[in-house]
Amino acid sequence: MKPLSEDLRGRIIQARQQGAGTGEVSQRFGVSRKSVQRFWRQHQRTGHCRPKQIGGYRRSRLAAHGRTLRRWIARQADLTLAELQQRCRAELGVQLGLTALWHRLDRLGLSYKKNDARRRARPA
């Protein structure tokens, strides 16, 4: 869901500053009363009413350990995610889930395919 534009937020704040009530402003601009209250509180507290960032701000706990992960996989290419997870906890002091670990390895280009012997048989 996209946040409401700063222009609309500004018009809501301006209407409240001119003395309009929460219900009146919500009807005029087609937003919920709760949104009007939230924008007004944010404006009073911070002096602005910009939307917060959506996504892209979380950093991996393994961001600083890319070289270590590469080294571990170079030494032993058949490490499982569970084994890597245990090593991260024991040696790096970083505790994370298997999915987060897989995403980090994928981002580093360290994911690998199973070898041909383990693949399903294909038609001739």
Q: What is the pLDDT of residues 75-96, one digit of tens each?
A: 988 888 999 999 999 999 999 9
Report whether 3 contacts 52 (CB < 8 A): yes
* Amino acid 86: pLDDT: 95
Q: How many CB atoms lie within 10 A of CB 42?
A: 17
Q: What is the pLDDT of residue 121?
A: 58
Residue ranges covered by each domain of the chain: 6-46, 63-113
pLDDT beneath 70, residues of the chain? 112-124
Residue 60 confidence (pLDDT)? 87
Predicted local distance difference test score (pLDDT) of residue 120: 58
The two structure tokens encoding residue 111? 């994911």
Quote the tokens at residue 23: 């219900």
**Statement: the pTM of the whole predicted model exceeds 0.75:** no
Question: Please, which residues have CB within 8 angstroms of residue 3's CB and are 6 or more apart in sequence?
Answer: 51, 52, 54
Residue 69 in contact with residue 84, Cβ under 8 Å? yes
